[in-house]
Structures are given as C-alpha cells and as structure tokens.
Amino acid sequence: MEESHIISLKEVDSTTHGSASEQINLKNINLTVNAGETVAVIGRSDSGKHGLLRCIALLDRPLTGILSIDNKNLTFMASSELCQARRKIAYITGKPTLMHSKSILHNVALPLLIQGTPKDEAYKLAGIALGKVNLESNQQTPVTSLTTMQLLQVDMARSLVNNPSIMLADDVLQKLDPKSAQIASNLLEKIKHTEKLTILISTNDANYIKAYCDSVIVMQQGMIVERCSTYELFSQPQSDTAKEFIRIFAKHELPGSLRKRITHRALAQHHALVRINFHDCLAPEEILSNSLDAFDLRMNIIQAYQEAICGQTLNLMVIEIFGEFDTVEQVVEFLNHNGLHSEIIGYVPTIA
C-alpha cells in the first residue's frame, strides 16, 4: 500500500563523486521501501550504491525526479524545511567525521547544540543515545582512543539524538573484523526494533544480508538492475551483478585447494563446477542422479549443506560434473526446469 512507503524515488537522476573523484551518476531510479524494512544495497564500489544512500539522505540532491520521505516530497523543499525533514534521516558511515579534541558525549550532542538545544538537555539526550549503543560508560573518553567499532557506535549514537525514522548505513561493516562485524550487526538489529527504524545498508557482507535483510537492491552502473527478496537473491539471482555476488560468496566456501585452481573459462582438460540449490523440490537426489545417468555424465559432490536465510531453509550443493561442456550445459538447463536451480560457477583442471 502506498501509505506504507516511507521512502519513494520516482525517475530520480543524481550525481555524486567516488573516492577517486570520478563522477557517478544515478539513472532513472524508481524505488519504494516500506516502513520497518531492512534493505541491503549491493554492488561494486562504482555501482552507485553509495550514491543512492547519499541521494536519499539529500547529501546529493536529485537532478530530476521526485524523492519522497514519509509521503512528503523533499525534492523542491526550501532549505529551512529540508533541514527539519532531514533530521528524521540518520546517515552513518564506516568513516565518521568526529571532533578529535572533544569527548564522545560532546560529539554525540553536537547536532542538538547546533539546533539550539540547551546544553544540559543536549548532553542528557546524548547520554541516553550512548546508552542505546552500549557506550554509556565511555562518555568522557577522547575520540582519539576509540577503536573502529567504538567510532561506529559513536556515529550510531549521534544519528539517534534526533529520533530518526530512517537509518542509512553506508558500508559500516566493511572495515570491521569478523567479531566486531557480528557485534555491529546485532546492535543495528537491536536499534532497528527499539527505535522502530527503517534501515538501508550498503554492504557486500553476505552473512548480514542473510540474517537480517528483508530484501535486496542490486546496483550496477548507477542503475537498479534487480530488486528481490533476500531468499531470491541467494536461490535465484537474475542479474549478472547478483550472480557474481553469489559466485564470489560460494567461491569463498570452496576448499582452498580448489579455489586456487578455479577459472571461469571452459578450458581443455577441465571439468565444470556446478552450484545447485533447492527448497521445495521433491526427490532432488533422484532427479540429479537420473539426469546425470541419462546424459552419461559423472559427478563428485564437493559440498552439501543447508543454511537459513530469513527464516527459510535453502539446500545447497556444489558438485563436479565430468563430461563434454555442451552436455553439462544441457543437464544444467534440464535441472533448472525440474526444480533444482543450477549454475556453472567455474571450471577446474581434471586430474588424471
């Protein structure tokens, strides 16, 4: 329903600048996000995923089109109105800009102080925000002594002092070690529920996406090339970018000895690696075995496991298939028509 769309972009074009000062253009962006959703934005560094978040935050204003937040058109708002509206949009990054000469408490209170909030009240609200991110005992700690994880927590707290309804998280997990990334992920999820937030996060962290995201936006060359549920991303990716994301993720799960030998070209004396996933397929093992026998192909199972994606179970297999490449492609197509979503993820040398 339209009234549930807290974020709406209609035919939006925008321009931002990447880390190397290259110009990145958003092109014809049409997007709606429902209140309470957690949405991942994935893509390469130059795909426009960062530009999309900056555009929604009005850090880069749309050149054309309409951007609405909570059914209010922000595109043509005067600066004073826009300033008020933007307070409901929190924007956090992996590289927060903080005042190193000031305490954590002052940094978190700064947005309120700039708005003219009395100092005592601003500091009180900042202290409450720090409690929400588990930094209540660190209020007077100098910024220069903080870890990367703590810097992110401060940025989260600072973004919460205006009671936002939307949080835009721009690559906040990228530079964290695995343990800190898990802590940050759990903290984001906790804040989402306690503060009733809608979250858009640009990330290529597959574990976070599988555990917490309702849907995924796939960006390529400044355009949205796919919008799907999280389960659909991992089970039936449609765009080349989404398939590449899944291939890279699956590749990291392969044994190290195999990863070193994999190529994406069908070379002589090589055989195919095929990734298969299924959910409600009846007798998948029988279909696979009978299909390979019918096409006179041999297989070797590399991996077989289950994983939970947003509360649903996805069954996955990675197998080696030995035989003519054209025949392998035929059997992959046949399996896809029979409920076993299959894809050739690469080729490895055949050891005699």
> The domain spanning residue 181 has which CATH number?
3.40.50.300
Mean pLDDT, rounded, for 125-134: 95
At 258 the pLDDT is 81
pTM of structure: 0.85
Residue 1 has pLDDT above 60, yes or no: no
The average pLDDT across 292-298 equals 92
- How high is the pLDDT of residue 94? 84
Task: Report how many domains make up the chain.
Answer: 2
Q: Which residues pair with 317 in a beta bridge?
A: 276, 304
Shared domain for 223 and 292, answered yes or no, is: no
Q: Give the mean pLDDT of 213-242.
A: 93
Residues 138 and 259 in one domain: no
Residue 327 lies in a domain: yes
| Domain range for 324 | 254-349
pLDDT tens digits, one per residue of 43-82: 988 899 999 999 999 988 888 999 999 989 998 888 888 8
183, two tokens: 């802590």
* Bigger pLDDT: 315 vs 67: 67
C-alpha span between 253 and 273 (Å, rounded): 13
Averaged pLDDT for residues 120-142: 92
Same domain, 264 and 314: yes
**pLDDT of 120:** 95
The mean pLDDT value for 298-303 works out to 90
Residue 11 lies in a domain: yes
pLDDT digits (tens, 9 = 90+) for 4-14: 689 999 999 99
In a domain, 245, yes or no: no
Q: Which of 195, 230, 265 is the last residue of a domain?
A: 230
By the 8 A CB rule, do 47 and 82 touch? no
205 and 258: one domain? Answer: no
Model pLDDT for residues 178-207, shown as the tens digit of each residue: 999 999 999 999 999 999 999 999 998 998
Supply the CATH number for residue 320's domain. 3.30.70.260
Query: From start to end of the chain, where are the E strands?
Result: 5-17, 23-34, 38-42, 64-69, 72-73, 89-93, 166-170, 198-202, 215-220, 223-229, 270-278, 298-309, 312-322, 341-349
Q: Are residues 131 and 177 in the same domain?
A: yes
Are 301 and 170 members of one domain?
no
Whether residues 145 and 210 fall in one domain:
yes
Q: Are residues 136 and 265 in the same domain?
A: no
Mean pLDDT score of the chain, rounded to an integer? Answer: 89
Higher pLDDT, 137 or 131: 131
Residue 236 within any structural domain of the chain: no
| 65 plus 194 within the same structural domain | yes
Q: 7-16, 175-184, 229-238, 254-263 — which is least confidently predicted? A: 254-263
Q: Per the domain annotation, does 247 fall within a domain? A: no
DSSP letter (8 states) at residue 135:
-
Averaged pLDDT for residues 158-165? 95
In a domain, 235, yes or no: no
Regarding whether 316 and 211 lie in a shared domain, the answer is no
- Nearest CA-CA partner of 125 in 86, 160, 89: 160
Establish if 313 belongs to a structural domain: yes
